Structure 1
Amino acid sequence: MATIYLDHQATTPMDPAVVEAMNVAATDCFANPSSPHAAGIRAFREVERARGAVARLIGAARTEIYFTSGATEGNNLAIKGVVRSESRRHVVTTAVEHKSVLDTCRSLRSAGHEVTVLPVDAEGRVGARQVADALRPDTALVSVMLANNEISTVQPVADIAAVTRAAGVPLHCDATQGVGSLPVDVRALGVDLLTFSGHKIYGPKGIGVLYVSNGLSDRAPLVPLLHGGGQERGLRAGTVNTAAVIGLGAAVGVLAACRDEEAVRLAGLRARFLAELAELVPYTLNSGTGPGFLPHAVNLSFEGVDAQHLLLEATDIAVSTGSACNSSAQEPSHVLTAIGLSPERIRGSVRIGFGRFTTEEDVSRAARRLAVTVGTRALRTAGA
């Protein structure tokens, strides 16, 4: 029986339209888009068409869009690029950010910068007042994610932006988890920098987006991480991954056409899953399911069950115990720890994310399979 894939916060399968676009790109647009001949110019035009699609999706100007290898590189470039261009040496972020943000801030701290990591409430949310209180005259940057990859919490980014804008401090937002389900407009959010990855929106891996407002670029250009050929207007050297960029453009086109309708459908699937699961086995929610949370995902715990062992036995269901970037570390989730969950509850936690190709039958099968496996594990634990 085919595996039921419910780990869409880790990655998404490529949409068929993306596969088709990349296949065409690999054969018809293989030339280097920096080359001055006709084949290169054709590839360049396709890259720029994708750049325009991304810009429209998030309400940006095309000149504000830079292609990266993914959100990890984008987060590194945004944070380090701003801080290294400033004489100010203080950074503010939150305890529930993705490791690509927290570890980047940690590297800055090792280099002598000061980092303030703000705590969050029981829902994983930080307040604009907290950010305001943390700002200092030497604050170079604030970095707050749009939505959390483990507990789906949506942060009040626009409110935070009002605070940072008034203080003259750039705001970076890792929108990787939110851009596939939430309307994202950089002007409405008020952010100066924003990042996301193609593989979280049914596009290819190895491609991402960094938005840098023209206002910030004019005032204090980012310091590049890579130096070489001067691609991406000098901000990111290296031959452009043309096929992946074209695939990203196709993914953005599909997303723009179906995001709102898809979000409603996935919220319905999540509600059905939770209702069916509740009839079979008790669980505790670790994330919200109403306004202020992503519509397609949920984090829950099973009492008395080790989720790592659970997933090893439920081999026909692909779910996660937390961030895919952290799963090999075998350490408690920093996000669940930050919202105050006990070690026992964290040990029994599972992250489930529904996606574009998830069916109602998948939902019912997954609920039944998880319930059976949880019951078996609980009995074994009790017997031990």
Structure 2
Amino acid sequence: MNIERLVARARSIVLQPREAWPAIAAETDSITGIYRNYVIWLAALPVLGVLIGTALFGIHVPILGTIRIGFGTLLAQAVLSYLTGLLIVFLLALVVDALAPTFAAGKSRIQAFKSVVYAITPVWLAGALNILPWIGALVLPVSAGAAVYSVYLLKLGLPRTMGCPEDKSWGYAITVVVAGIVLSLAAGFVTSSLSGADRSLGPATASVTPSAHFDKNSPGGKLQAWAEHMATASRKMEQAQKSGDSADQARAAREMIGAVVGADGKTRALPPKRLGALLPKTLLGMPRSDYSTERNPVMGIRISQAKARYRAGPDDLRLEITDMTGAKGLLSIAGFTAPGEARETDQGYEKTYRDSGNLVHERWNRARGRGEYAVVIAGRFVVKAEGETKDIATLRKAVESIDRSALAELASPHSG
């Protein structure tokens, strides 16, 4: 690695992007070379910032105080975040390349990779601020500004690297950003889940060969099945890229995202009104208000939700039912890695555990009389109550007011 060249490139793309992009487009380099000389170094900045800052100073939560996390846990999370970040860069490059014909651009994987890598540079640089907790108030606005600037850099770069018309560059850039948001959210969920798996499963997960396998319903079995699904989706993506068929490429991209979050591509999220029918008109003597339902299909990830508010006197509760069928693979993995987590302070507590086979999460703030109680039912439905009330038992009763047998029936293959 040439440190002077790396610094010069980062400075030029941030401060002089109009001059930098033509030079970048004309460079002859390989994806491996760019990874080795640029990506692996800058992508490490936000990860190291969070790792060092959290290890030294903890995480400050208003009212509750400072949370201290073991270094082993932090390191596992950091390694997974770093590797996932490197993967996301490549996946986004595939998206840029696959979308090229749609925006009258020329297909080129190396140019697509350049577009993503150099446009995202401001985000990587801003991420280094996480190492300084005393400027925490600045991290969010600076990071948000860096993200917006990265979108602008991508818009400037796509006409030079991919050859798209100027009038299509905004649409091209925004479409790529949407894909990036979906991938980042999914990756964040996977990383937080797998970091727990790393602690509980230990080195055994790394030593499994293709001829060995875990029991199907064991934690390792779930992780292995997820990894196999990812491998299959990756092979389909490669085949689609070679075919040159834009429809196949778009389909493969959706399947890749589905594999990341554990979607099977077959099970459909229920119509939200069917979930809404389970929300009571009166809850613990409180009338229902602010009732709403919605469905959000984003790049193959299907999620439906129904929610309502219940108020009377000092009590103010929100009850919601979410069908997470588009990411139920993640719920399954989280179900094996999360139970047993707990922390308590003078102000309250938070814990995750299993009750009758269902994953349960509780959080309660004694000082504010506010909390949350959530249960995962049938491996896909999340029923959650949150708000201000006298105790956690009230929130538990609110969740128990939802007919679990009805939800289980809705999850059956014959339920439409």
TM-score, normalisation: structure 2 = 0.27
Select the structure with the greater relative contact order (CA < 8 A; seq sep ≥ 6): 1
TM-score, normalisation: structure 1 = 0.28
> Where is the strand percentage greater, Structure 1 or Structure 2?
2
> Where is the helix percentage greater, Structure 1 or Structure 2?
2
